[in-house]
Amino acid sequence: MNRTFLIFFAAVLFLRCNTAEQRAVQAPNIIYILADDLGYGELGAYGQEKIKTPHLDRLAAGGMRFTQHYTGAPVCAPSRYMFLTGSHAGHAYIRGNYELGQFEDEKEGGQMPIPETTPTLAKMLKKAGYQTAMVGKWGLGMYGTTGSPLLQGFDYYYGYLDQKQAHNYYPTHLWENDQPAPLENDYFLVHSPIAPGSSQPAFDQFKGKDYAPDRMLGKALHFLDTTAVNKPFFLYYPSPIPHVSLQVPDSLLQDYQGQFEEQAYYGTQGYTAHQTPKAAYAAMITHLDAEVGKIWEAVKARGQEDNTILLFSSDNGPTFAGGVDAEFFNSAGGLRGLKMDVYEGGIRIPFIAYWKGKIRPGSVSELVSGHWDMYNTFAELSGQEQSSPDGISLVPELLGKEAQQQHDYLYFEYPEKRGQLALRMGDWKGVKTEMKIHPNTPWELYNLKEDPQEQTDVAAQYPEIVKQIDELQRQAHRHPHIREWEFVDPKFKK
């Protein structure tokens, strides 16, 4: 009987292991490309007319373009945290850009680190047998802290750890697996204005030899070229483009030189000066588009296009600083607000999904969704438990199935810029601003279906809707762990 039991146990174990191996082989590769400060209206597929984005436009034409997709927060660090953890802003451990250290190399300190035990989608995918890599801008903790990407589910990483260092596209170094990776650039402080009317040498001081985006793209392509073909991979590629500073190799400016009426930017609003800021900004986005094209081609070259889902989005709305002219480019696509705002221009972002043979080409989704949905989406794609209570899986929508779960509401809580709240419930959206100054400020109310630009506050006409939004906000909010982020029902005297 013992022998029979052992044979049965061995057979069950074999079948279980074999099923797990088959699932790992069948699970799709996942590439998630995250732009930095790219506005809702800055791609051709989303109506942009002045900046060329041919690869992303083709990606959208061959896949699905989302029109009501949101970031978790209107700035870098919290939006990245919410993407990785599947948390919305009322539950997130990181809710703002909590800066540590300074800009100088020897004072590099990064941002508030993610706790080591935090569930992340990279840890979840690694558990599912994925090869995982992060190449680009991190912003969630330095080496030597719990926030190192190596402690958050990534087998390999290369790029910027500190967001402040990412203000410079010609840094002296990047980071590779917790070790400094030197670049052939001299140190300079990017936030150094120059005198109005300065000549060429004053602008040239902000140039270098090694352009960080090119180095990072090379590492991403190497990862794609060297992953084992019998195991799925996850590549998280958070590009620093087009976040200022306005720095781009002269060769990339050629397509836009003379295209726009220019006025030199002398660094008076932070970041590096540039003689042709509009051309530089457009060239940076076109360069990002070219990076997407090269990653796409690398997948095709390996014969993996049929089993790779390629996703592209942004971390928040377009910037207002560093010589960028968001109005000129209609960067927010006509929506109200910019980066650091919880109005639509600060939080509604482009989202493109491409999966050859699986996602219907040229499809457009109006599903209300956000960054925190990626956790459950990736979980379903990889056969794992959908354990994020704040997110939903977008797989049914992507594959054209009818059983797509809907959000009851989306919640936004942003402690910086004097404290802001937003909550979307169907077509209704409530907004509160200046809460650190006016704690009892009333809700503004907008009907996004009729008024997507949020121009007409109808709170007075719909008190019952305002009451529902207020009740949902109280349910969604959990007190943060630091005083600086507590502006909703604070437990201290100001």
Give tens-digit pLDDT for 113-132: 999 999 999 999 999 999 99
pLDDT tens-place string over residues 227-271 = 998 999 999 999 999 999 999 999 999 999 999 999 999 999 999
pLDDT score at 26:
74
What gap in Å lies between CA 224 and CA 232, rounded to an integer? Answer: 11
CB 270 within 8 A of CB 339: no
pLDDT score at 489:
87
320 phi/psi in degrees, rounded to 5: -120, 0
Per-residue CA distances from 118 to 70, 76, 122, 123, 289 (Å): 22, 19, 11, 9, 32
Please give the distance of CA 345 from its chain centroid, rounded to a whole number: 15
Give the CA-trace dihedral at 460, 462, 463, 464, to 10 degrees: 180
| 338 — pLDDT class (breaks 50, 70, 90) | very high
What gap in Å lies between CA 206 and CA 200, rounded to an integer? Answer: 11
DSSP state, 178? T
Kindly calculate the radius of gyration of the chain based on its CA atoms and give it in whole angstroms.
23
Q: Is the pLDDT of residue 169 over 80?
A: yes
pLDDT score at 20:
43
| pLDDT (mean) for 415-428 | 97
pLDDT score at 301:
96
What gap in Å lies between CA 434 and CA 406, rounded to an integer? Answer: 30
Neighbours of 490 (CB within 10 A): 15
Outline where 372-438 has alpha helix (H): 374-382, 395-398
Beta bridge partners of 312: 33, 352
Q: Beta strand pairing status for 348-354 and 363-365?
A: unpaired
Per-residue CA distances from 207 to 102, 198, 212 (Å): 21, 16, 11
Secondary structure class of 25 (helix, strand, coil)? helix
| pLDDT (mean) for 369-392 | 97
Q: Is the pLDDT of residue 447 over 60?
A: yes
| 491 — pLDDT class (breaks 50, 70, 90) | confident
Per-residue CA distances from 364 to 151, 371, 425 (Å): 37, 18, 21
Scored b (16 or more CB within 10 A) or e, 141-158 reads: bbbebebbbebbbbbbbb
What gap in Å lies between CA 481 and CA 101, rounded to an integer? Answer: 20
Q: Is it true that the peptide bond before 240 is cis, omega within 30 degrees of 0?
A: no
| 492 — pLDDT class (breaks 50, 70, 90) | confident
Q: Is the pLDDT of residue 387 over 50?
A: yes
- Burial group, residue 176, by CB count within 10 angstroms (0-12, 13-18, 19+): middle
Of 430, 429, 434, 431, nearest in space to 419 by CA: 434
| pLDDT (mean) for 450-475 | 98
pLDDT score at 402:
85
What gap in Å lies between CA 99 and CA 290, rounded to an integer? Answer: 31
Q: Whole-prediction pTM value?
A: 0.94
* Residue for token pair 């989303």: 46
Edge-to-edge strand order for the sheet containing 420-425?
A: 410-414, 420-425, 428-432, 444-447
Per-residue CA distances from 421 to 73, 243, 435, 477 (Å): 10, 24, 8, 10
What gap in Å lies between CA 142 and CA 120, rounded to an integer? Answer: 17
- Burial group, residue 166, by CB count within 10 angstroms (0-12, 13-18, 19+): buried
Domains in the chain, CATH or no CATH each: 24-398 (3.40.720.10), 410-485 (3.30.1120.10)
Beta bridge partners of 420: 414
Percentage of residues in the chain with pLDDT exceeding 70? 95
CB 411 within 8 A of CB 90: yes
**What is the per-residue DSSP string for 67-86?**
EEEE-SSSSHHHHHHHHHHT
| pLDDT (mean) for 5-34 | 60
What gap in Å lies between CA 306 and CA 355, rounded to an integer? Answer: 7
pLDDT score at 494:
63
In sequence order, the 6+-apart residues with CB closer than 8 A to the CB of 198 are: 266, 273
